[in-house]
Structure 1
Amino acid sequence: MRQARVRIGMGVLAAFLATGAAGAQQVAAPAVQVDPDGTVHVPAMTVPVSPMLSPEAQRYVAEHLREMQQPAMVAQKDGVPVFMMPYIARAKARFAYGLAERRIGGVRVFDYAPRAGIKPGNRHRVLINLHGGGFMGCFPGCAELESIPIAALGGIRVVSVDYRQGPAHKFPAASEDVAAVYRVLLRTYPAANIGIYGCSAGGMLTGMATAWFQRHGLPRPGAIGVFCAGLTSSANGFGGDADYMTAAVGEARPAPSGSSRPGSALPYLAGTDPSDPLVAPAASDAVLGKFPPTLILTATRGFELSSAVRTHGALVRLGVDAELHVWEGLFHGFFYNSDVPESQEAYAVILRFFDRKLGR
């Protein structure tokens, strides 16, 4: 296939060797400059879609990069980003599930279940989904794409929480809402049988809520999933090299310039302290060391990659049962498109993890 290419001029690690067609004559590469403080200046370069991806995923990456350059495609209509609408339509057609909208602990939720019924091994288990969207929307859009495949394929109940978000609400409103739902579910399910997961902001909130439970004396859940996210805080994104190295080739956007107060990029977290473990659990070994088994999913073009790797390393260092799965060549929240084989691989990883770690 003809591969889409993204031209970037930013700090991406690279070495350039060009060979002539006839005599394999070596051509000098543009110089990479390094400042005394280690800042690297890399010339403009061309990055193809990874040949390691399935053909479906290669087309998906090219489509995603084009869509991310169109403001109309990322705009939300009734809580659904426009570019996600085809994904939702296909997920609803592909997976057999039921949905009930209700309130649990005073919080609105979408309650998903497989149409064929809960599998016998999952009758005393439940998953809580915390949707993505930068704490600024994407309910029900992100909730649908994170919950429908898991409920249908896993034969398990999934409760997706419509937690309070910015800019109308500030931290810790979302953590409070998750705790309210969790308290009610604890009346029916043992804590060891409850799993919590989310993507992007929902992945962050999964960690934040787990820390919130610790602070307020609630039992820890049986297992959690931090997807498309990490548990660190940064003014520019999730922090680390990925702010500069993967956002361009994954989201078709330039590297951040300048600096701002940590947390200010997300209105929901404005004014928070990045060293507060209720905001960034990875800031505290004491908090992170008490985490339940944790599954972390990311991709080599995900702008959360550095934070995900850092979070996993800290969990392992502290003796927490933690898994890190990284998909080659894909981007932030890649598994929202259920057509792609790599997304189906991700669903299988998620379901196997919760099946192994939750109580029965």
Structure 2
Amino acid sequence: MTAGSASRVTAKRARHPGWAAALTGLLALTLAPGATAQTPNTVRVEPDGTVHAPAMTVPVSDMLSPEARAYVAEHLVQMQQPELLAQDNGVPIFMKPYLARQMELFPHERTDTTIAGVHAYDYTPRGGVPASQQDRVLINLHGGGFMGCFPGCAELESIPLTALGGYRVIALDYRQGPEHRFPAASEDVAAVYKELLKTYPARNIGIYGCSAGGMLTGMSVAWFQAHGLPRPGAIGIFCAGATMSSAGFGGDADYFNGPLGDARMPPPWPRPAPVEGSGLPYFAGVDVRDPLVSAASSDDVLRQFPPTLIITGTRGFELSSSVYTHTQLVRLGVEADLHVWEGLFHGFFYNADVPESRQAYDVMLRFFDRHLGR
């Protein structure tokens, strides 16, 4: 970028003045030589590296498919309508059309069941599990911030993989906050896992989830290690990483991806008061650096991970954690794949009509097919 083009970028007037603290890393690169701290539309950098950026306008990425471009615009508008974020029997209102569409697209059977005392939905392809998948099973850990979204998120994460991949997928209704506290969810996953080990060898069991469920996937592997359980054959940490912060998942994305991905303000800086732990009720009083919560805080825990698939988007507020988790896994010699979708946000693949979502399903299925039972 030339000095002239950088100055033109930073001189744009924003339609959303609340974005002044966002996109710090990116905007630091656009500071024109010779600009002064007194200029209103100039990036200001403090001695400790903290960046204060002016408001700016960010269009939807032109690298997206037409369907995805419309989807991003729709999502950002929806995120500013609180009534659409409310849950109706465990299904966020804005997700209902996505769920109805998946029901049309992906033939499947669902059994309401209980395994090892844990409520679950047991999904299979319509017509039954094919012979090629009879000896393999997936456990889904749904998203929802450890405060709901069962069955909504569980359905959206499970139905495509059972219908397209032929897998039996067991989605767990694990205990959540505010009624329950850590490690209740980890205990539930371990209980179901131990029960499935009576039927499936560990190498044939895959575990995956999005958002809170992606984080819980990593937490569960750490829990298995601490309690002498064998590691599963492969895991998928989607829309998440193996780290946590008081403002999200940690790193730069806590600040610049709230506005870009979900039309919400980044956390204030400096913080109004010292903040420790997580803002999620489920983790009240828990040290977010505990390896049973943030597995990436311990090399000893992380190096024992099974093959791991990480999926995120450049607008996902988990982006930094996803990238960091992958970097640490690779550093420690763990087989790990990272797939980042340009221009897309947290949990983007819930909409099955977007080509990029279908690409994500293909990546998930190829990964589990390659690793389970190997």
User: Scaled by the length of structure 1, what TM-score is found?
Assistant: 0.94
The alignment status of 1:76 with 2:101, answered yes or no, reads no
Residues in 1 aligned to 2:111 and 2:128: alpha-carbon distance in whole angstroms:
14
Tell me the equivalent position of 1:241. 252
Q: Write out aligned runs for 1:22-33 (5 A).
A: 30-33=41-44
Residues in 1 aligned to 2:105 and 2:259: alpha-carbon distance in whole angstroms:
32
Residues in 2 aligned to 1:6 and 1:190: alpha-carbon distance in whole angstroms:
56
Paired-residue identity, %: 67
Aligned partner of 2:364: which letter? I
Aligned partner of 2:258: which letter? A
Equivalent in 267, 281, 296 of residue 256 of structure 1: 267
Kept in 2, the 8 Å contact 1:6–1:249? The answer is no
Residues in 1 aligned to 2:266 and 2:221: alpha-carbon distance in whole angstroms:
31
Q: Deviations over 1:322-354 (max 9, x none)?
A: 000000000000001111000000000000000
Shift, 1:54, TM fit:
0.3
Tell me the equivalent position of 1:112. 123
Equivalent in 269, 272, 286 of residue 300 of structure 2: 286
Tell me the equivalent position of 1:265. 279
Tell me the equivalent position of 1:10. 21
Q: Write out aligned runs for 1:124-203 (5 A).
A: 124-203=135-214
Shift, 1:6, TM fit:
6.9
Q: How many corresponding residue pairs?
A: 347
Shift, 1:141, TM fit:
0.3
Kept in 2, the 8 Å contact 1:248–1:254? The answer is yes
Shift, 1:275, TM fit:
2.0
Kept in 2, the 8 Å contact 1:235–1:260? The answer is no
Tell me the equivalent position of 2:7. none
Q: Deviations over 1:107-133 (max 9, x none)?
A: 000000000321222100000000000
Equivalent in 216, 227, 232 of residue 227 of structure 2: 216
CA-based RMSD: 1.6
User: Scaled by the length of structure 2, what TM-score is found?
Assistant: 0.90
Tell me the equivalent position of 2:360. 346
Q: Deviations over 1:20-46 (max 9, x none)?
A: xxxxxxxx9931110011011111100
Aligned partner of 2:342: which letter? E
The alignment status of 1:102 with 2:116, answered yes or no, reads no
Residues in 1 aligned to 2:48 and 2:40: alpha-carbon distance in whole angstroms:
23
Aligned partner of 1:93: which letter? E
Residues in 2 aligned to 1:89 and 1:296: alpha-carbon distance in whole angstroms:
27
Moved over 4 A (4+): 15-18
Where does structure 1 lack aligned partners over 5 or more consecutive residues? 19-27
Residues in 2 aligned to 1:170 and 1:148: alpha-carbon distance in whole angstroms:
28
Shift, 1:260, TM fit:
5.1
Aligned partner of 2:253: which letter? A
Equivalent in 289, 294, 302 of residue 275 of structure 1: 289
Secondary structure at 1:69 match in 2 = coil
Equivalent in 52, 66, 73 of residue 77 of structure 2: 66
Residues in 2 aligned to 1:194 and 1:31: alpha-carbon distance in whole angstroms:
53
Kept in 2, the 8 Å contact 1:179–1:209? The answer is yes
Tell me the equivalent position of 2:218. 207
Aligned partner of 1:298: which letter? T
Residues in 2 aligned to 1:327 and 1:295: alpha-carbon distance in whole angstroms:
14
Aligned partner of 2:334: which letter? V
Secondary structure at 2:338 match in 1 = strand
Q: Deviations over 1:48-89 (max 9, x none)?
A: 000000000000000000000010010111101000000000
Residues in 2 aligned to 1:263 and 1:65: alpha-carbon distance in whole angstroms:
28
Shift, 1:313, TM fit:
0.4
Tell me the equivalent position of 1:23. none
Residues in 1 aligned to 2:346 and 2:177: alpha-carbon distance in whole angstroms:
21
Aligned partner of 2:294: which letter? A
Q: Deviations over 1:207-242 (max 9, x none)?
A: 000000000001100000000000111000001000
Residues in 2 aligned to 1:29 and 1:343: alpha-carbon distance in whole angstroms:
40
Secondary structure at 1:83 match in 2 = helix
Residues in 1 aligned to 2:63 and 2:112: alpha-carbon distance in whole angstroms:
41
